[in-house]
Amino acid sequence: MTESNLGKTEIEDAKLPRRDIILLPLIILLTVLVCFLATEVVARHYFAQGAEGNCLVRDAQIGYRFKSHCTMRQKIAESPWITYQFNECGYRSKEPCGPKPPGTTRIVLLGSSTAEGYLVNYDETFAVRAQRRLAQDYGHPFEIQNLGREECFPICVSKRMDEAMQLRPDLLVLALSPVDIQHLDPAEMQDRDKPMAPLGNPDMAPVKISALKKVQVFLSQSYAVTAIQYFLYQNASTFIRLYLHGGDSTAYIRTPLSPAWMKRFDAFDLLLGEMTQRARTAQVPLVVMEMPSLAQGSLLSMDKQPQGVDAGVFDAELKRIAASHGVQFIDVLDAFQHGPKANRLFYVINGHVNGAGSALASDALVEQLEQQQSPTLAGHSQTQDALERGR
Amino acid sequence: MDAASYQLVVFGLAVALVSNLSRSWLWRSIVLLTASIVFLGLIARSPMVYLPLAGFLLLGYVGLILIERNWPRATMCSVLVTVFAYIWLKKYTFLPESLFLHSAYSALGLSYIFFRVLHLLIDTGDNQEKRHIGLGAYLLYMLNFTTFISGPIQRYDAFSRDQFADKPIALGPRVIGSQLERIVRGFFKVNVLAMLLHMVQDDAVAQLSQPMPMQIKMFAAIKLALVYPLFLYANFSGYIDIVIALARLMRVRLPENFDRPFAASSVLDFWNRWHMTLSNWLKTYVYNPLLVLLMRRISSLAWQPFLGVICFFVTFFLIGVWHGRTSEFIVFGVLTGGGMSINKLWQLWLGRLMGRKGYKALATNSVYVSCSRGLNFVWFGFTLFWFWAGWKQIGAIFSALSVVEWISVWLTAWLVATLVLALWEWLRVALLSIRTTEGPILTSRYALTVYASVMGLVAVVVTALLNQAAPEIVYKSF
């Protein structure tokens, strides 16, 4: 029956046919479903994902590492295609990892995906940008051997100290983000010397998941949901509002820090102490750099931060720990505060910094290194080379 | 709450639900009055800001009582005092600044209350058979939260017929469904359509003020000429859709305020379709009495047709002036009244030139109708420059292009409006002609359910993505 065909009184008096009680809600559901599918089709075009090649190889100590002389490509929904090339040691560096060329300052970069430059093309990573600028500022070659590897959190990093030292670096930089400390499980500290599990451990029993979880997984894999998230997270306050529902994993921006986070920081304190000791023994300065998370960047983009939330609380704690070990702390957060809005500096769904964010981080790194490590960076060609020749 | 927000919709639906717990007019009135007071409380936390409004309402009620008691000249005095109080509280700029109240107060809803008070005073004074309006009924009529912010301007008789009916109007699943669909449609218009059109307008204004190539500036000017009427329609009619539907769910029928205004093929026709409750009010209380007065004074038959022209000018000049307190709105009034008068003169002239039959044939000619429709749209867009912009901005916009370029802009805008509106009307007729035995498919409740689902989904996604307060209703500030 057509509504316009009826007079007003007729509409008011007319009864709804019984079939419509089922039919109309079904039409609503069907319409929503069609809209969702249409969005899915469009989103699959605009938010395409892909991967070419696989450079991962098992490693007895740290679970897995990158193959030597390997190239792989990856694209996530919100990123362009990113090419990863690894040198003969499986580091994301174009420079060979063999003996350091004379007159070159070698920096070893440690950390997880943040250090690796995940989702950033090689020339745009903060490591390569910093390498270029340092070479320009000091007038001699610099190289950064990038040992960064996804999910190589602080315990994994501590296992790589010997590997790092074998490269005979002039400087060690440990790049950290809140995710690194979040994944630092204090319970694992006792067994930290044991080898780490490789990728896709076949011994693990298949996990049973609930129907709700299945729906969540389905939605999280949906391109339409990705598209909605992408636009939703462009707004810093929306992102923060949703992010704060993340429970303990997001509590590093809440004041005061939760006991769970304090335990993580205690564990990191212990690890940093050990790493500093080993670096000192080899007379190599160690520097800790914090790469802000999207949540911290978003908070800095907002005019007013929500109550009980502070972008700088994580930074301050890390700085305190670094200072207690006499380690320089590179404060990148300040550069993000004065930079563009967070949605320009991060992949808003994935959370990693993009090329623009890497540029800010690189500037902060170089400026602060030049302030405190200038003798190491500038004096290398005279002192270290003499030592190298002596060896 | 004073915008087409989720809060308003949820509040309105909750009130409708509680209101329908009993069919008793007393219960429904108590719920409506309580909801209206809560509504005011949610808009401004301090009750002190409503003191001037309360005084205005009291003034109106005292006037009403005096008229009911047949005090001599009570109607005229009450009307004059009400008009003065309104001008004073609205701070019209032609009054000296020192005269105004300097403490902060809310004038929200005052313009619409003003029309309702005047209507009660005049009608009560005119009525042979006196009626008594109790203070409760008076407050309920004046403060009804569905009409408080931006109308529509409902007459008391229509309000009391539904609100105080022993047997309230029916509210079956069909009505509920159609009203929910209307709420979604209104929400979509304000929060998606109007918002997008506003972005286009802002963009065009920015382009005109920047050093850009002439072609880009001309394109921006054309966008500006065409977009604002559409924005205003989506913004205002969307809000009206929501409040009419909410009131209907409370078993009160509010009058319609729009009837496809851009289908109008003349300025005269347009004002029969745009903000209908306002133009009808002014026709009843300004145009008709003025016409009668002039016809009594001027008996010459040759002048009779032109009296309507004068009355149209006065009525629609007042409509323009009502919209705002500043000199821009005087120009808006002159242009609106002038447009009406010139349209009337054009009709008279053509009628004399072509004869009644010839004019009738011309008025139904599809090319003439399409061109007239486009011209009316563009004329409305032109007058609206004095509606949304201040003198400084108007100066900046008009100085961005030369006179010749502006003429080209308006001619192009006319052409575009003519073609687009003609296409739209043709498409509408064509689509509505797709029928089953029960009527057009596209207006069936199944099709309406599909539209509402899509609009609702898009509105939810867009509002979530934007994460900002609902857009202001333009007519709220008048």
Nearest to B275 by CA among B235, B223, B326: B235
- Which member of A5, A13, A241 has the closest CB to residue B438? A5
CB pairs under 8 A between A and B: 84
Strands (E), A32-183: 50-52, 56-59, 63-66, 71-75, 82-85, 105-111, 142-146, 171-176
CB contact under 8 A, A238 and B177: no
Looking at residue A215, what is its pLDDT?
Answer: 76
CB contact under 8 A, A35 and B465: no
Looking at residue A331, what is its pLDDT?
Answer: 92
DSSP B470: P
Query: What is the SS3 string spanning B320-367?
Result: HHHCCCCHHHHHHHHHHHHHHHHHHHHHHHHHHHHHHHHHHHHHHCHH
Complex confidence, ipTM = 0.77
- pLDDT mean over B271-277: 95
Looking at residue B145, what is its pLDDT?
Answer: 96
Least confident of A330-334, B94-98, B390-394: B94-98
Reported as a single tens digit per residue, the pLDDT across B70-89 is: 888 899 999 999 999 999 99
Q: What are phi and psi of B440, to 5 degrees?
A: -60, 135
Tokens encoding A215: 């729906």
Q: What is the distance of C-alpha B156 from the center of its chain? A: 18
Nearest CA in chain A to B170: A12
Q: Could you tell me if A203 lies within 8 Å of chain B, comparing CB atoms?
A: no
Q: Could you tell me if A242 lies within 8 Å of chain B, comparing CB atoms?
A: no
Looking at residue A3, what is its pLDDT?
Answer: 47
DSSP B1: -
Tokens encoding B191: 């929060």
The overall average pLDDT reported for chain B is 92
Distance CA B156, CA A47 (A): 57
Per-residue pLDDT for B282 more than 60? yes
Reported as a single tens digit per residue, the pLDDT across B127-174 is: 766 678 999 999 999 999 999 999 899 999 999 999 999 999 999 888
Reported as a single tens digit per residue, the pLDDT across B406-434 is: 999 999 999 999 999 999 999 999 999 99
Per-residue pLDDT for B253 more than 90? yes
CB contact under 8 A, A23 and B446: yes
Q: What are phi and psi of A132, to 5 degrees?
A: -65, -45
Distance CA A334, CA A323 (A): 18
Best probe of the B interface among A6, A8, A12, A229, by most B CBs < 10 A, is A12
- Which member of B171, B438, B452 has the closest CB to residue A1? B438
- Which member of B171, B449, B467 has the closest CB to residue A28? B449
- Pair B126, B285: CB distance under 8 Å: no
Q: SS3 of A175, please?
A: strand
CA A336 to each of CA A180, A331, A366, B20, B227: distance values in angstroms, whole numbers, following the listed order: 19, 10, 15, 55, 39
What kind and span of H or E run contains A327?
none
Looking at residue A201, what is its pLDDT?
Answer: 52
Per-residue pLDDT for B337 more than 70? yes
Distance CA B17, CA B32 (A): 11
Q: SS3 of A91, please?
A: coil
Backbone CA torsion sign across A92, A96, A100, A103: negative
CB contact under 8 A, A235 and B465: yes
CB contact under 8 A, A12 and B178: no
- Which member of B443, B450, B465 has the closest CB to residue A232? B465
Cross-strand bridge partners of residue A66 = A56
- The whole-angstrom distance between B100's CA and the closest CA on chain A is 36
Angle separating helix axes A223-232 and A236-243, nearest 10 degrees: 120
**B414 residue type, one letter:** W
Distance CA A91, CA A111 (A): 12
Nearest CA in chain A to B452: A28
Looking at residue A337, what is its pLDDT?
Answer: 87
Q: How many CB atoms lie within 10 A of CB B149?
A: 22
Looking at residue A14, what is its pLDDT?
Answer: 66
- Which member of A4, A12, A231 has the closest CB to residue B175? A12
DSSP B284: I
Is 0.90 surpassed by the pTM of this model? Answer: no
CB contact under 8 A, B445 and A1: yes
Tokens encoding A245: 């529902």
CB contact under 8 A, B178 and A3: yes
Reported as a single tens digit per residue, the pLDDT across B287-336 is: 999 999 999 998 888 888 889 999 999 999 998 888 888 889 999 999 99
- pLDDT mean over B109-123: 94
Q: SS3 of B166, please?
A: coil
- The whole-angstrom distance between A28's CA and the closest CA on chain B is 6
Between the CA atoms of A215, A217, A220 and A224, what dihedral angle is there, to the nearest 10 degrees? -50
Nearest CA in chain B to A29: B453
Nearest to A140 by CA among A173, A101, A99: A101
Query: Which residue would you say has higher pLDDT here, A385 or B247?
Result: B247
* pLDDT tens, N- to C-terminus, chain A (391 residues): 444 444 555 555 567 788 888 999 999 999 999 998 999 999 999 999 999 999 999 998 899 999 999 999 999 999 999 999 999 999 999 999 999 998 899 999 999 999 999 999 999 999 999 999 999 999 999 999 999 999 999 999 999 999 999 999 999 999 999 999 999 999 888 888 888 877 655 455 556 677 777 777 777 788 888 888 888 888 888 889 889 888 888 999 999 999 999 999 999 999 999 999 999 999 999 999 999 999 999 999 887 888 899 999 999 999 999 999 999 999 999 999 888 889 999 999 999 999 999 999 999 999 999 998 888 888 644 445 444 544 4
Least confident of A126-135, B2-11, B257-266, B282-291: B2-11
Tokens encoding A166: 């074998």
